[in-house]
Amino acid sequence: MKRLFLLVCMLSLAAAASAAPEVNIVPKPLSVEAGDGFFTVDAATVVVVGKDAELRRVGQLFAAMIEPVMTRTLKVKASADGSKIALAIDPALGEEEYLLQVTPAGVDVRGGSPKGVLYGLQSLRQLVIEGEGRVPAVTVKDKPYFGYRGAMLDVVRHFVPVEDVKAFIDIIAMHKLNRFHFHLTDDQGWRIEIKKYPELARVGSVRKQTLVGSNRNSNEYDGIPHGGYYTQKQLRDIVQYAADRYIEVIPEIEMPGHGMGALTAYPWLGCRGENYEVWTRWGISKDVFCAGKDSTFDFLQNVLSEVIDLFPSEYIHIGGDECPKVRWKECPLCQQRMKENGLQSEEELQSYFMQRIEKWLHGHGRNIIGWDEILQGGISKTATVMSWRGSKGGIAAAKAGNKVIMAPNTHCYLDYRQTAQQEYEPLGPTRVLTMRTVYALDPYEQLTPDERQYILGVQGNLWAEYMPDFVHVKHMALPRLAAIAETGWAYDRKDFADFGRRMQQFRKVYDSAGCNYATYFFEGKDE
């Protein structure tokens, strides 16, 4: 009889366990403990924030997030009886850490800061949308693995209007990323208003036409001028919009290469000093900023003075990638600069260039990030390296004691095709990065435990040569950005099969937010 009783109990427990609702959260939380029952978020539910003005703003953001599945926008109040979602700051938690507790009686979301609370609400958002308001009882304890979790958007090759930039920031926030890398200047245009140099916006922001088809084999152009830039008022608005979602905007001003937008506006910045034109093709121009003229550095410092006034970020990205040295080899002033400073190669001249800019930025309270080519000729220990040519640059930088952000093209270039079935994909680079490949990123590749301390985090990049509009941007970013986010947030607990299961529900968040996305991964057509 006793054995029978025990058997019945075990079967009952097994049945209860099997009946327990799945909790699907992306990125994967640190721990999830299922409870009993459900809480229903409906028109009567109130978001309770006490007297904290910042929590009130966070609560209003959450109410807007779930509005598509509600009959009306939830009220946000200092206090309330009845059905409520209570928000609070818990000093015992880390800044980005949160505790989400759902019971049939209500919801509590606590964070170490308002940022942590918002992350908890992003998780709750997923549960509300998945269940259409019916949220399973659960306790979620969570915090990110890496401190730097970013996404880059190139707005040079194809200009992105302000409202779409804000929509991209919302997508970043949805994935619990915390950095927006804003690629603002390149050979194909200059996208930021600089008041001291108005020709940058008037002349440097416009190319006379754009390549049609692949850069590898096309000589056809559309014959239509393409331009656009952000005013300083618009940029301040974008920065504030991101800050309201606890996202830091990192501007990138390319140098010493990828500067044709600036050289066209002010020809004296180049070694040749004349006959420059904003590029209409993709690729790399031989014309770069002249390293032999002090006026070049005066110009860049004046530009950066306005940049740092607009962007309060810890970092300023100064490029440093793909800088041909042909003009420097031909330029008497560059060669004289090398002689005066005992530089043995043009690679060392690039190092001189970057270190001079870095010194100026340090003097103004900022740190630099550069692409991994800044390792050429030697760099200071205070420079942060963003590794894009695979992981080798980041590995070398970490071994040398420099901070590193891993963004290798082998895993993080989200403009690459998502499936080998080419008939499904729009025009773009031929390389394929499936969801599985993106998810397989290991930021610690080939590093010892001591060297791992230099890896700050990860970033997904979207280069826009073949993305003429924001619909295309979203198609390439989603859902693969979720794989980047999970590596950044949950590196120590990644499981691709489990990730795939959770993503089947997470796509409902994309649907709710009105985001188009590629469906190959969900249909099993990406591999």
Active site residues: 186, 258, 322
Q: How far is CA 309 from CA 28, 87, 111, 300, 462, in A?
A: 37, 34, 31, 14, 26
CB atoms within 10 A of CB 386: 31
* 136 SS3 class: strand
At 318, list the tokens: 């100064």
The angle, 0 to 180 degrees and rounded to 10, between the axes of the packed helices 470-477 and 162-174 is 20
* Four-residue CA torsion sign, 425, 427, 432, 435: negative
Q: Which of these, 170, 171, 111, 167, lies nearest to 144 by C-alpha position? A: 111
Strand duo 211-212 + 220-221: pairing: antiparallel
Cα torsion through 439, 443, 444, 447, rounded to 10: 130
* Four-residue CA torsion sign, 165, 169, 170, 171: positive
- CB distance 244 to 57 below 8 Å: yes
Q: How far is CA 484 from CA 27, 65, 303, 338, in A?
A: 9, 22, 32, 41
Q: Which of these, 297, 291, 319, 310, lies nearest to 194 by C-alpha position? A: 310
At 191, list the tokens: 């996208």
In 27-83 the beta strands, taken as DSSP E runs, fall at: 31-40, 46-48, 75-77
- CB distance 93 to 99 below 8 Å: yes
- CB distance 368 to 317 below 8 Å: yes
CB atoms within 10 A of CB 264: 26
Report the C-alpha gap between 138 and 383 in whole angstroms.
43
Residue 149: its H or E element? strand 148-154
Tokens 């910045």, located at residue: 269
| Biggest CA pair distance of the chain | 99
